[in-house]
Chain A
């Protein structure tokens, strides 16, 4: 129905090198030819270009511009910026919902957080889930994309099937896999029993390590298709000339992958991993459904621990301080990541 943008975007002047084209991975025959890569989290690249501005009554334009932005800006200030500042205020207070007094305690919350073993354990779990999960998502996604990329007819049929997990409601994914992992009636133990004999009884969600593994596999199930679709689109867009030249030179599959495919899509890989990483770090739903942090508090994640602090112990100030520490940590990691893999990746 809406096959493509009605018009291609204007050529970007002063942009970086020419970027490869991408299709949606759905239908190579009709793919959107207007596409270009844009370093998404790096909007400098696309906005530092002098835009063709309309008729030059720029004072009026500026006023019009802010009038149009106003509703969105007001909402973001009221429900995005203000709560964040409020949270910073809370972080410097001992703000327990049960006690009426809320004294200013300076950096005490932050100091307590640094010595909080439960926080470190939650952070460790979160990073393990994020890193291990994304590694597998990337490898499996890349493998499937490579298997499908030169089968255009099958691709059209298979992509809509593979993409289904991404479209599931996360809490439904949690519930579904909660039933699959069940040690008594779950399908996973059932299949394992068929292989390893009836005595097998893995209590997946009742032990720390297996519960973490279960969360990772569940995440892999839901998000590998995302990697797959993005990588498939990127690989389909690599110029066929490169492959022809490689074939003439007698390059084998691995050489082609290492020297042509991966370098050509390096930029997209970096962006996709960043998005998945930021998203995976929020993991909350699976903990809620699978273990609620048990046994003990060993399967807690960062989001879950903050939720617990705030709404089980009602330690609003402390929860806010930890939120801020995590926000700072994520900003630093993301900044380093962007500098290392995305901004530089554009050149080289």
Chain B
């Protein structure tokens, strides 16, 4: 498709899109009672969605005397940073380091392998439709199905390759990489579909190699997709709990496992648990804000191409 044609189409579609809300609005007449009802419902919904987040953030700054009382104190009398200090020194830094190393490595590895495979599927139609669907179907499986074989495999592998054994970062990196692959391939394939073939063909005619075309043309043009899928891979690896809690004990404990370690305590450690929870959540919030545009597409594995 030639660029100017594409541009014209975009402009046309954008006009339709811009007019859409106006048409919606004109379809319904304004009535003051209904709009009060509408805004108050939205306000209640906003409070419902925000309150728990507010609660845990505030909790992390409360002294026990503020959260172990009836009725609970909403705003701490004396905000404290003690929980952060204590929890980071006892297990926070180690867990944070594990999480950063594991999530970053798994994201990088799965992006490399996944992007290559996606390009091959999009451009060379490797394996055909059944292969593509089979790859995606790997993602549909409940992870708990694999937990027992993983456990036994890691015991065996760990005897030969120590960094891939139980309670090692390497094994979690490998597992998360594999779990990221299907949706990276699926999403990146749809991004590569959007890169015009003509550009690559003319480069091939000019004597570029397949890999040169991939690196110099396809990849830069699909960069938005790479960033978005990379973020999703990172979020999955960062938040995963089931594998992490079964396959680690002390050495490779990640943030979610460290946080879950507080679940037994009846209130006494809530401050520390909340502090660690805030530490674990903040990077995800920041990352997600950066790729918000791609959220719908990513969440539904490209079902809604948003």
Contact = CB atoms under 8 A, between A and B. Distances in A.
Interface of A: 2-11, 21-26, 28-41, 43-44, 47-48, 51-55, 61-62, 64-66, 68-69, 71-73, 75-76, 78-80, 82-84, 86-87, 90, 140, 143-144, 147-152, 154, 158, 160-180, 182, 184-187, 190, 193, 221, 224-226, 229-230, 233-234, 236-237, 240-241, 243-244, 246-247, 253, 256, 268, 271-272, 275, 278, 281-282, 284-285, 288-289, 302-303, 306-307, 310-311, 316, 319-320, 323-324, 326-327, 330, 334
A75 B205 CA distance: 34
Interface stretch (B76-84, B85-93, B236-244): B236-244
A334 B140 contact: yes
Contact of A307 (B23, B48, B144): B144
Contact of A7 (B19, B21, B195, B204): B195
- 6 A-B pairs with the lowest CB-CB distances in the bound complex, closest first: A240-B23, A33-B13, A40-B303, A65-B126, A2-B224, A65-B124
Nearest to A233: B296
Contacts of B181: 72, 75-76
A28 B144 contact: no
Contacts of B224: 2, 4-6
A227 to B, nearest CB: 10
23 contacts: A6-B194, A31-B14, A35-B304, A48-B129, A71-B117, A72-B116, A72-B135, A79-B174, A86-B153, A147-B41, A164-B285, A169-B255, A170-B239, A185-B70, A186-B72, A190-B71, A226-B299, A233-B296, A233-B304, A303-B142, A303-B242, A307-B144, A310-B246
Nearest to B52: A176
B45 interface: yes
A34 to B, nearest CB: 7
Given A2-B227, A180-B55, A284 B242 contact: yes
B248 interface: no
B49 A43 contact: no
Given A76-B138, A90-B149, A282-B143, A179 B59 contact: yes
A65 B135 CA distance: 15
Given A160-B289, A185-B267, A327-B142, A149 B72 contact: no
Select the residue from A73, A182, A268 with max chain B CB neighbours within 10 A.
A73
Contact of A230 (B204, B292, B299): B299
A73 B117 contact: yes
A8 B1 contact: yes
Contacts of A86: 149, 152-153
Given A7-B221, A271-B300, 5 more contacts: A41-B303, A53-B125, A158-B46, A161-B49, A307-B242
Interface in B226-251: 227-228, 235, 238-239, 241-242, 245-246
B263 interface: yes
B20 A75 contact: no
Contact of B306 (A3, A25, A285): A25
Interface in B248-306: 255-256, 259-260, 262-263, 267, 270, 273-274, 277, 280-281, 284-285, 288-289, 292-297, 299-306
Contacts of B51: 187
B151 to A, nearest CB: 7
Contact of B305 (A36, A55, A76, A281): A36
B305 A307 contact: no
Interface string B47-75: 01111110110010000000111111000
A37 B181 CA distance: 23
Contacts of A4: 10, 224
A83 B70 contact: no
B142 A84 contact: no
Contacts of B145: 84, 87, 306, 323-324, 326-327
B270 to A, nearest CB: 6
* Secondary structure class of chain B's binding surface, majority of residues: helix
Contacts of B96: none
A7 B148 contact: no
A155 B12 CA distance: 23
B296 A54 contact: no
B200 to A, nearest CB: 7
A229 B14 CA distance: 20
A6 B70 contact: no
Nearest to B284: A167
Nearest to A24: B306
B108 interface: no
Contacts of B299: 166, 226, 229-230, 275
A253 B70 contact: no
A276 to B, nearest CB: 10
Contacts of A147: 38, 41-42
B120 interface: yes
Contacts of A40: 300-303
Contacts of A160: 289, 292
Given A9-B193, A171-B256, A87 B239 contact: no
Contacts of A320: 148-149
